[in-house]
Amino acid sequence: MKDCVNGNWFVSQTRVGPLVHAKLNAGGENSGKLVTQIRNRAREVAESTKAKLILTDGPPGIGCPVIASLAAAESVVIVTEPTASGIHDLQRVAELAAHFNISASVIINKADINYNKAEEIESYARDHHLTVLGRIPYDPVFTKAQLSGKSVAEFADNPVTGELKKIWNLLSI
C-alpha cells in the first residue's frame, strides 16, 4: 500500500474568529482520519482562544467522515431540504445520533420548495423527538451575500435573516 495525500488542512483567521478547515485535492476522498484531525485541531484552537463553542460542519450521509464529525459532539443540528433524498439522509443521521446518544435537532433549508416534504420532515421530527429549530425559505439573498463576502445577517434584513437569528438564539440557549 502506498501513502497518498488527498488534501491539506489549515487554520485560518476570519473576521469572526478562527476557522479550521481542509481542502481536498481533485478526486481526493474525505476520510474519518481527516475529519478527526480537523476536529482535534479545532478543539486545541478553541481552548487556546477560550472559545465556548465549536461548530463542526459534517458531510451528508453516515459514512466514516460523518461518524468522525459526531465524535465528542454534545448536540447535532441536522440541516435538511424537503426532498426525498433530504428526508432519507435526515433519517440516517438522526438514527446515527441516537445510536451515539447525541441529542439532535433539525433545520429545514429551502423549506418552501416542497411544502408536503417539509411537513413530512416535521412529522418525522415529532415522531422521533427531534426539535425543528426553524424553516429557512429559499432566497437568492444567500448567493448575493456570498458574492459580497458577507453573511446573510450582515447583508440584508429580511425574513430569512429573522429566521436565522431565531435559530441562532435557540442554539445559544
Counted domains in the chain: 1
Q: Has residue 37 been placed in a domain? A: yes
pTM given for the model: 0.88
Q: Has residue 82 been placed in a domain? A: no
Q: Has residue 95 been placed in a domain? A: no
Q: 173 pLDDT exceeds 70?
A: no
Q: Has residue 166 been placed in a domain? A: no
User: What pLDDT, in 10s, does the model give residues 49-79?
Assistant: 999 889 998 877 778 888 888 888 999 999 9
Structural domain span for residue 43: 1-56
Distance in angstroms (rounded) separating the CA atoms of residues 3 and 15: 36
Three-state DSSP at 154 gives helix
Distance in angstroms (rounded) separating the CA atoms of residues 142 and 152: 6
